[in-house]
Amino acid sequence: MLWSLRKAFKNHNAPIWRALEHKLSAHRSNRREVNTSRLAKITNNGETVIIPGKVLGSGSIGHKLTVCAFSFSQVGAKRIIDSGGKVITLDDLIENFPDGKGVRIIG
């Protein structure tokens, strides 16, 4: 995972991939946990976000999101998909947004 972020940063010179690499290389206990209710509050419809940690399923989402995270709880992923959103992998995110524009880091 870190290798693909490093490669994306070098190929596209996008600072978001370097920042994400640093967040994910930190100690495991420092990784974020974000509930779907928080995602609903701080995001807009159609937005693409990445969480350098885990998405938990407490709360609901009323709009579509594209979410990439280090891991998802089963309920968290289900709530995102049920709201019309997508759960994607890091490689898919880098492929769709090579320069990182339009992607927010949350957490």
Cβ-proximal residues to 104 (8 Å cutoff; 6+ apart), any chain: 43, 47, 48, 49, 50
Long-range contacts of 62-66 (CB under 8 A, 24+ apart): 65/39
Share of the chain above pLDDT 90, in %: 63
Query: pLDDT tens digit string along 40-84?
Result: 999 999 999 999 999 999 999 999 999 999 899 999 999 999 999
Share of the chain above pLDDT 70, in %: 97
pTM of the model: 0.87
Distance, CA of 27 to CA of 13 (rounded, Å) = 25
Would you kindly state where each structural domain of the chain is located, as residue ranges? 2-105
pLDDT of 1 above 80: no
Residue 53 pairs with which residues in a beta bridge? Answer: 32
pLDDT of 6 above 80: no
What are φ and ψ of residue 51, in 5° steps?
-115, 115
Class of domain 2-105: alpha beta
| Confidence tier at 32 by pLDDT (50, 70, 90) | confident
Q: Are 54 and 69 in contact (CB under 8 A)?
A: yes
Work out the end-to-end distance of the chain between its first and last CA atoms, rounded to an integer number of angstroms: 18
User: So what's the pLDDT on residue 13?
Assistant: 85
